[in-house]
Chain A
Amino acid sequence: MKIHIDAPLHVRGESEYVDDLPPPAGMLHAQVFGSPVAHGRVKALDVEAARRAEGVVAVLTAKEIPGKNILGPIVLDEWLLAEDLVEYVGQPMAVVVAETWELARKALRLVRTEIDPLPPVVNPREAFAKGEVIHEGRTFALGDVDAAWSMCDLVLEGDVDLAGQEHLYLETNRARAMPREDRTMQVFAGTQSPYATQKSIARILGVAEHKVEVDVLRLGGGFGGKEDQGTHWACMAALAAQHTRRPVELVLSRMDDIRMTGKRHPYLSDFKIGLQKDGTILAFEARHYQNAGAYADLSPPVLERTLFHSTNSYYIPNARIFAVPCKTNLAPNTAFRGFGGPQGMVVIEAAISKAAEALGLSREAVQRKNLLKDGDEFPYGQKAFECQARSTWDRLVEQEDLVGWRNEIDAFNSRHPMHKRGLAIMPVCFGISFTKTFLNQASALVLIYADGSVSVANGGVEMGQGNNSKLCNIVAETLGIHDERVRCESTNTRRIANMAPSAASATTDLNGQASILACEKILVGLKALAAKQLGASPDEVAIVDETVTVRGEKSDWDWPKLTAEAWLNRVPLMAHGFFATPEIYFDRETEKGHPFAYHTYGAAAIEVELDALRGSYAIRKIRVVHDVGRPINPVVDLGQVEGGLAQGLGWISLEELKFNEQGFFTSNSLSTYKVPDVYFMPDDMRVTFLDAVENRRGPLGSKAVGEPPLMYGIGLFFAVRDAMRAFRPDLAFNFAMPLTPERVLTQLYPEALAEVQPSLQAPTPVGASTP
């Protein structure tokens, strides 16, 4: 039985996270002082009182940085600690280092600033109008959109308002740094990018990269939030450790983590869609204004993926997609599962809904009519191959008897005046590869010990997604041995150099392929040895179920015998594998190329029930048909689909990331920012994997699974909209997400809303209603 290999430790609470490691003697605790305003010139930063406070060993500011005070994964445009300008609330300005966590917290309150406020901008359209952009807008185009409008029976326009999303990894950002001999620094960090963290620490400390060791055992969730933004805290811990020459631990409180780190990007988008009467989409245009926050961070590649996925699973012969990253005074927004793809997909789905409603067709009819097939071209030039858009859709519709399902809903709705059910299908097509082509490389080290136990080191970070489980499965299968013999080591920059971040759903693909290559190198020697000793030629030897076979017959050599003999005969038992994804490229001049190794496809159907009296709704039932190729570890894959789905459902419905005009997050804690709980998710949920279709571009025929399922959640918006239309077919509803009970109720009752407007009431006394 395949399991998540960490699960037996997790259920006993024995898995170690950064701050579970036994504390070294003399360890100090660091806490971060962040800007109290969203935008302003720093006149003074006074840390003297904090320095004199009980138990404080150091208070570090930009002045105390020995190397370069600069950071950024794509563009070096961020300070680690702010100098003369602050550009978002919570932007780190100082690090307080004290004997205990409690004393560090107390000293934080003694830091004083004097900041001349500048006007903050939080709306991306406003930033764009002022020319405040991270870089110029980019456009992907296919066919001739301008000429196509005149050929359409229907052309309509609309806009979408899409909020961001807090990652809410259960483990907040944290790091522990240990100063070691020869000015080296050992850092245990919660990061998806050990190499980027190593590189940044080296730059901050002013040392060569080989002086810095970053070790990542596991993360308590990442979801993209620690792809770039796990780095800062590790840099601060290392800075403090260098300065004090003592071990330093930095653990962010939940409220600091929410305040100081970026989120999924909010977008404001406009669309225009043109169709024939039968629902065939002839032309589509979208303009995306990305709310990037104060610095570039990963906004440019996130934006790029919005461009890549703006037509989702549909073939649209004439398309033009524009997107621009707008600079605002919020924490720099960053990677989050889906990485800009979801924001692009929401807009085409909104356009299709609006068009279907106008044409009097069902949403599903328009969707099905335009699904991709092999040979169809994406706006970025790649052509669909081994396309599963239609097969996953059709399997879902047939398996779940969509017609009967819809009839049941209609029957229910006709019997219930105040409760309405709604249904929507969400297809997903997601490209697999880093769109920055150079990142599509990976290394793995496979070490076999003489007793037959195997250790794998790779560049992938285990953050719950099951990378290490699948790596063990892949290595075991490639070597012909049992999973139990293999363990994955922590991800360490001393074992693997220059690793790509664990991101883009590609971690297991890349590191799995590298591990296979390493295993194959070792197998050459092992098979030659066995062949020689057993009197056969190497190609007649195999390892099956831990036994050496010769011409298909079992020999008396088992795996431990083979590895022991290899050691005694000086046959190498460790190897390095290196993998670089073939075939992919992208030309940013023409915005055309073949950026993805392959696409992952699937479709989900979601049914909801709306309480039209109270404006609340509940998910009743979900069905998913998903293509994972040949699954390596079905338990892990199912977990990725169900978990990604839950995160997408939350983003679209209840996770309301609110900030005010002054750039403060107002939903800044778990009491105001709500994510799915056990009652939110329906009991009636089933995931079917499309009958194994080998993917020759993935390890052992598998496909990447991390991100695509999140986007099934988008279907929830359209299911609720369907139910809302059943209650109020006379109204037009907007495309603002998340679809909170407030947005539902106020749209269902415009007349009653007008009646209760305070202008019609007695003057409102000053009051408050926050608990």
Chain B
Amino acid sequence: MNDCKPIHFLLNDREIEVREPAGLLVLDFLRRRQHLTGTKEGCKEGDCGACGVLVGAFDDAGRLWYQPVTSCLMPLGELHGKHLVTIEGLNLPAALSPLQEAIVREGGTQCGYCTPGIVVSMTHCLMEKRSAVTLDDMKLALSGHLCRCTGYGSLKRAGAAMADLWSADERAAEDGRLESQLGLLARKGVLPDYFPRIPERLRALQERLERDRTESGAPPTFRIAGGTDLYVQRGEEIPDGPVDVLNHHPEWCGVSRHNGTLHIGALTTFEALSHDTAFREVVPRIGEFMHLIASLQIRNRATLSGNVVNASPIGDMTMLLLALEADITLEHGGKERRLPLRHFYKGYKSLAKEPNEVLTRFSIPVPGETMLVNFEKISKRECLDIASVNSAIKLTLRDGVITGASLAAGGVAPIPKYLPESSALLVGRKPDESLVRELLPRIQQEISPISDVRGSADYKRLLLRQLVIAHFVTLFPETIRPESFNSGMQGASPR
């Protein structure tokens, strides 16, 4: 396609310029256009990790960093000015890296199909954690990957062995910056020799592109935020038309606090949010919640606005934003309007949004009182699965009395469900067991789950009951005990 705008980036150790549709999947570009076949297609929906690659760029502070992503959900247009690293770009010319050697030694590969993606993610872990790498870090690196052969034991053993790669001196010399460690990583064979020059080459490329920057022409048929839902749903159509790659809008990313309000850019990714200092002050346990949400690769791509606009009745971050009483700002043609997120959903996948409006910002009130937030989720598999039911709650307290409450639940209605009556019932009350007992039947009146692949309607009702109990048990462990809700059980006592 000659009318495509050029996309200019570093592909492993080569600088390239391609004229391809911006919406073309990076995976298809690699395999079909470049014949770089080490990157594999396993599912094309971000669940298996076989297509894993790294994308390198500079952050706002000018620090080079890499993210593992699934190339099956990433538009090529987003690579403009970045460094794309595939398995081919991690191989040393004539030897195995210490990680590759460990995987061979421990038997961490059998059929081999998932292996390149796994090597990419584990190598990223070594780039990021370096001398501090632990088994837990390696498990996180493996978490977005499915291996149907090994059972992961051998991969964990290989990962754990990487902790021994650094000497005490090297540990002491760590300065926390990837860029200054690239030479060491190359000397150790973790990365090939071209890597230490990448920051310089990437800066030069970016400066050049900055000068040539032009605005897009044709109106887009698709606006792609993270693409992690959009490509799963419409993947075969996207490359055919012009697209607006929203992640080229840095102005719509990031978190800031103004007085009693937290402003979050709509394109902030899950992963960026979970590491944001300002957000962590408001929701200190966000890291713990994130363990239950997607995989690292998906969290690196998935955005808050994508989650909210996709309007899945079971969106995890949507539930959290509802409980946090977020407002959203919609923009079109320079005009902005703001409305509460809970008023955004009109029906199943139906939004209070004009077609050309773009969601640009979330605003979350941060009151002065004690604020407690909890998130619960149950799915078939604990990690990287879609919930049967999820729920988030926010309570503000003064002198032991609930002054504000908002409760949201997913998988129990056609929309991400804010529960106004149940929330109202809590205000002005002391959090105790009798309050929870009063709350439980009220919740059932506000929900309308249906049976589907994620569970029967009855199960979802029962599960939300349990998760609401779990909210209170988690937030008030001293005063609310879970076993006191086992009413009607005969002999439900320890054996």
| Residues on A facing B (Cβ under 8 Å) | 1, 3-4, 6-17, 19-20, 22-23, 101-102, 105-106, 167-172, 218-223, 253-254, 410, 413-418, 463-466, 613-616, 618, 635-636, 638-639, 642-647, 654, 656, 658, 666-667, 669-672, 674-681, 683, 685, 725-730, 740-742, 745-746, 749, 751-753, 755-758, 760-762, 764-771
Residues of B within 8 A of A222 (CB): 111
Q: Are B467 and A171 in contact (CB under 8 A)?
A: no
Residues of A within 8 A of B104 (CB): 3-4, 7-8, 11
Known: A613-B473, A767-B450. A254 touches B107 (CB 8 A): no
Q: A14-B91, A671-B47 are in contact. List 20 more A-B contacts (CB 8 A).
A: A3-B107, A10-B115, A10-B116, A11-B115, A12-B100, A169-B148, A170-B50, A253-B44, A670-B45, A670-B48, A671-B232, A672-B386, A674-B380, A677-B143, A677-B145, A685-B153, A749-B486, A752-B465, A757-B458, A769-B454
Known: A223-B148, A741-B378, A771-B310. A726 touches B462 (CB 8 A): no
Residues of A within 8 A of B187 (CB): none
Bound Cα distance from A770 to B454, whole angstroms: 8
Q: Are B109 and A643 in contact (CB under 8 A)?
A: no
Residues of A within 8 A of B315 (CB): 771
Q: Are B483 and A418 in contact (CB under 8 A)?
A: yes
The residue that B459 contacts in the complex, of A1, A16, A745, with Cβ under 8 A, is A745
23 of the cross-chain contacts (CB-CB < 8 Å) are A11-B96, A12-B96, A13-B87, A102-B236, A106-B236, A218-B111, A417-B483, A618-B382, A638-B154, A644-B151, A654-B381, A677-B143, A677-B146, A679-B139, A728-B492, A729-B491, A740-B380, A741-B388, A742-B388, A745-B462, A751-B487, A767-B348, A767-B413
Looking at B44, B462, B485, the one whose CB has the most chain A CB atoms below 10 A away is B462
Over the window 468-495 of chain B, the binary record of Cβ atoms lying under 8 Å from chain A Cβ atoms (1 yes, 0 no) is: 0110010000000111011111111111
The residue that A677 contacts in the complex, of B44, B348, B384, B487, with Cβ under 8 A, is B384
Q: Are A771 and B466 in contact (CB under 8 A)?
A: no
Residues of B within 8 A of A767 (CB): 348, 413-414, 448-450
Residues of A within 8 A of B150 (CB): 639, 642-643, 646
Q: Is B463 an interface residue (CB 8 A)?
A: yes
Q: Are A643 and B151 in contact (CB under 8 A)?
A: yes
Q: Are A771 and B378 in contact (CB under 8 A)?
A: no
Chain B, range 143-169, C-beta contacts under 8 Å to A: 143, 145-156
Q: Are A749 and B380 in contact (CB under 8 A)?
A: no
Bound Cα distance from A101 to B149, whole angstroms: 29
Instruction: Report the minimal beta-carbon distance from A637 to chain B, rounded to whole angstroms.
Output: 9
Instruction: Report the minimal beta-carbon distance from A749 to chain B, rounded to whole angstroms.
Output: 6
The residue that B458 contacts in the complex, of A17, A221, A410, A756, with Cβ under 8 A, is A756
Q: Are B488 and A742 in contact (CB under 8 A)?
A: no
| Residues on B facing A (Cβ under 8 Å) | 31-32, 35, 37-40, 42-45, 47-48, 50, 86-88, 91, 96, 100, 103-116, 119, 135, 139, 142-143, 145-156, 229, 232, 236, 239, 310, 312-315, 348, 376, 378-386, 388, 411-414, 441, 444-445, 448-450, 452-463, 465-467, 469-470, 473, 481-483, 485-495
Bound Cα distance from A109 to B481, whole angstroms: 56
Known: A13-B39, A675-B148. A769 touches B450 (CB 8 A): yes
Bound Cα distance from A636 to B462, whole angstroms: 45
Q: Are A647 and B236 in contact (CB under 8 A)?
A: no
Say whether chain B's binding surface is mostly helix, strand, loop, or mixed. loop
Q: Are A254 and B42 in contact (CB under 8 A)?
A: yes
Bound Cα distance from A729 to B494, whole angstroms: 9
Bound Cα distance from A656 to B460, whole angstroms: 17
Q: Are B155 and A742 in contact (CB under 8 A)?
A: no
Q: Are A669 and B414 in contact (CB under 8 A)?
A: no
Q: Are B469 and A613 in contact (CB under 8 A)?
A: yes
Q: Are A613 and B482 in contact (CB under 8 A)?
A: yes
The residue that A730 contacts in the complex, of B111, B385, B490, with Cβ under 8 A, is B490
Q: Are B458 and A753 in contact (CB under 8 A)?
A: yes
Which 5 pairs between the two chains have the least Cβ-Cβ distance? A13-B38, A464-B111, A220-B113, A771-B312, A10-B112
> Which partner residue on chain A sits nearest B447 by CB separation?
A761
Instruction: Report the minimal beta-carbon distance from B286 to chain A, rounded to whole angstroms.
Output: 18
Instruction: Report the minimal beta-carbon distance from A96 to chain B, rounded to whole angstroms.
Output: 14
Q: Are A8 and B96 in contact (CB under 8 A)?
A: yes
Bound Cα distance from A679 to B155, whole angstroms: 12
Known: A675-B146, A726-B495. A768 touches B489 (CB 8 A): no
Residues of A within 8 A of B386 (CB): 671-672, 771
Known: A642-B150, A674-B380, A769-B452. A729 touches B495 (CB 8 A): yes
Residues of A within 8 A of B488 (CB): 751-752
Instruction: Report the minimal beta-carbon distance from A236 to chain B, rounded to whole angstroms.
Output: 19
> Which partner residue on chain B sits nearest A638 by CB separation?
B107
Q: Are B453 and A666 in contact (CB under 8 A)?
A: yes
Instruction: Report the minimal beta-carbon distance from B322 to chain A, rounded to whole angstroms.
Output: 15
Bound Cα distance from A770 to B233, whole angstroms: 13
Residues of A within 8 A of B313 (CB): 768-771
Known: A671-B45, A756-B462. A681 touches B111 (CB 8 A): no
Q: Are A639 and B152 in contact (CB under 8 A)?
A: no
Residues of B within 8 A of A1 (CB): 105
The residue that A168 contacts in the complex, of B148, B155, B487, with Cβ under 8 A, is B148
Q: Are A658 and B148 in contact (CB under 8 A)?
A: no
Bound Cα distance from A218 to B105, whole angstroms: 21
Bound Cα distance from A11 to B109, whole angstroms: 8
Residues of B within 8 A of A760 (CB): 444
Known: A613-B466, A656-B380. A683 touches B88 (CB 8 A): no
> Which partner residue on chain A sits nearest B141 by CB separation?
A678
Q: Are A170 and B42 in contact (CB under 8 A)?
A: yes
Q: Are A725 and B96 in contact (CB under 8 A)?
A: no
Residues of A within 8 A of B381 (CB): 654, 674, 676-677, 680
Known: A677-B384, A751-B487. A658 touches B453 (CB 8 A): yes
Q: Are A745 and B463 in contact (CB under 8 A)?
A: yes
Residues of B within 8 A of A678 (CB): 139, 142-143, 145, 152, 155-156
Residues of B within 8 A of A768 (CB): 313, 348, 414, 450, 452
Residues of B within 8 A of A740 (CB): 380
Bound Cα distance from A506 to B109, whole angstroms: 21
Residues of A within 8 A of B43 (CB): 254, 669-670
Q: Are B448 and A765 in contact (CB under 8 A)?
A: yes
Instruction: Report the minimal beta-carbon distance from B307 to chain A, rounded to whole angstroms.
Output: 10
Bound Cα distance from A254 to B40, whole angstroms: 12
Residues of B within 8 A of A728 (CB): 489, 491-492
Bound Cα distance from A656 to B457, whole angstroms: 17
Q: Are A667 and B148 in contact (CB under 8 A)?
A: no
Residues of B within 8 A of A169 (CB): 111, 113, 148
Residues of A within 8 A of B105 (CB): 1, 3, 635
Residues of A within 8 A of B486 (CB): 749
Instruction: Report the minimal beta-carbon distance from B378 to chain A, rounded to whole angstroms.
Output: 6
Residues of B within 8 A of A757 (CB): 458, 461
Bound Cα distance from A762 to B448, whole angstroms: 9
> Which partner residue on chain A sits nearest B410 by CB separation?
A769
Residues of B within 8 A of A683 (CB): 135, 156
Residues of B within 8 A of A726 (CB): 494-495
Residues of B within 8 A of A770 (CB): 313, 452-454
Known: A221-B111, A745-B462, A768-B313. A417 touches B494 (CB 8 A): yes
Q: Are B110 and A4 in contact (CB under 8 A)?
A: yes
Instruction: Report the minimal beta-carbon distance from B173 to chain A, rounded to whole angstroms.
Output: 29
Q: Are A769 and B107 in contact (CB under 8 A)?
A: no
Residues of B within 8 A of A167 (CB): 148
Residues of B within 8 A of A218 (CB): 111-112
Looking at A221, A415, A685, the one whose CB has the most chain B CB atoms below 10 A away is A221
Instruction: Report the minimal beta-carbon distance from A737 to chain B, rounded to whole angstroms.
Output: 13
Q: Are B96 and A742 in contact (CB under 8 A)?
A: no
Bound Cα distance from A638 to B491, whole angstroms: 44
Q: Are B110 and A643 in contact (CB under 8 A)?
A: yes
Looking at B147, B381, B383, the one whose CB has the most chain A CB atoms below 10 A away is B381
Residues of A within 8 A of B155 (CB): 678
The residue that B40 contacts in the complex, of A11, A170, A253, A418, with Cβ under 8 A, is A170
